[in-house]
Amino acid sequence: MHKSSSLLILFFLFSCSFPKKDSSLDYALQRSGDNRRELEKVLEHYRDSGLKYDAARFLIENMPACYGSDCRSLDALRPLYQDYDSINRMYDFRTPSEWGKKIDGLYGKYHYLLHRAYESEDLCAMKSNYLIREIDRSFDAWKRNVYASECSYEDFCEYVLPYRRLNGLVADHARDTFYHRHAGKYYVRKGKQWMSETDSLLYEYRHLTHSAFWGAQIPVWNAETFEYLRHGLCIHRCWYNSLLLSALGMPVAIDFVPAWGNRNNSHTWNVLLLHGQSYAFEAFWDNDRWKYKRIYNNRVSDSSWGRFRLPKVYRHTYSNHPEGPAADANVERSDIPALFRNVKKVDVSAEYFETQDVTVTLTEVAPDNARYVYLAVFGYQRWHPVQWAKIEKDGTATFKNMGKDIVYLPVYFKDGVLLPAASPFKLDADGYMRLLADDGKRGNVCLRILTGSSAHDVNRENLNMMRGSRFVSLTDGKPQTEICLWSDPLELKMNKRMLPARPACRHIRMYLPTDTLSVGEIAFYTDKGRIPSVKVLSDVIPLSVSEGADRLTDGMEAATCRGKVPGRFVDFDLGGFFQLTAIGIYPYLDSQIREDCNYTLQYWDGEWKSKETGQGTACGWLEFKDVPLNALMMLKNLKWKGATAERIFIYEDESFCWE
Model confidence pLDDT, tens digit, residues 567-578:
999 999 999 999
Pairwise CA distance, residues 391 & 422, whole Å: 13
Mean pLDDT of the chain: 92
Q: Are 558 and 606 in the same domain? A: no
Confidence class for position 3, pLDDT limits 50, 70, 90: very low
Confidence class for position 303, pLDDT limits 50, 70, 90: confident
Question: CB atoms < 10 A from the CB of 287, how many?
Answer: 7
pLDDT on residue 19: 61
Q: Which element (helix H / strand E) includes 119?
A: strand 119-121
**Nearest in space to 264 (alpha carbons), one of 650, 647, 657, 651:** 647
Task: Assess if residue 234 is contained within a domain.
Answer: yes
Domain count, the chain: 4
Evaluate the CA torsion angle 512, 516, 519, 521 in order and state its sign.
positive
Q: Are 231 and 287 in the same domain? A: yes
Q: Are 143 and 239 in the same domain? A: yes
Q: What's the mean pLDDT in 225-242?
A: 97
Q: Are 503 and 483 in the same domain? A: yes
Last residue of a domain, one of 266, 285, 315: 315
pLDDT on residue 302: 83
Q: Are 267 and 410 in the same domain? A: no
Q: Are 208 and 279 in the same domain? A: yes
Q: Are 581 and 612 in the same domain? A: no
Contacts of 173 (CB under 8 A, 6+ apart): 133
Q: Are 416 and 491 in the same domain? A: no
Q: Are 121 and 249 in the same domain? A: yes
Task: Assess if residue 153 is contained within a domain.
Answer: yes
Task: Assess if residue 7 is contained within a domain.
Answer: no
Question: CB atoms < 10 A from the CB of 291, how many?
Answer: 17
Task: Assess if residue 458 is contained within a domain.
Answer: no
Task: Assess if residue 51 is contained within a domain.
Answer: yes
pLDDT on residue 538: 94
Task: Assess if residue 185 is contained within a domain.
Answer: yes
Find the radius of gyration of the CA atoms of the chain.
Answer: 28
Confidence (pTM): 0.93
Counting every residue written for the chain, the total comes to 659
Pairwise CA distance, residues 502 & 138, whole Å: 65
Read off the pLDDT of residues 380-409 as tens digits, 9 standing for 90 and up. 999 999 999 999 999 999 999 999 999 999
* Strand positions, DSSP E, 139-264: 209-210, 231-232, 252-257
Task: Assess if residue 461 is contained within a domain.
Answer: no
Confidence class for position 10, pLDDT limits 50, 70, 90: very low
Q: Are 333 and 307 in the same domain? A: no
List the domain range (segments joined by +) for residue 604.
442-451+592-658
Task: Assess if residue 456 is contained within a domain.
Answer: no
Q: Are 173 and 279 in the same domain? A: yes
Q: Are 304 and 351 in the same domain? A: no
What share of the chain has pLDDT > 90, as a percent?
A: 84
Last residue of a domain, one of 276, 293, 315: 315
Read off the pLDDT of residues 157-187 as tens digits, 9 standing for 90 and up. 999 999 999 999 999 999 999 999 998 999 9
Task: Output the CA angle 324-423-418, nearest 5 degrees.
Answer: 50
Pairwise CA distance, residues 112 & 118, whole Å: 14
Amino acid residing at 439: D
Last residue of a domain, one of 259, 287, 315: 315
Pairwise CA distance, residues 280 & 271, whole Å: 4
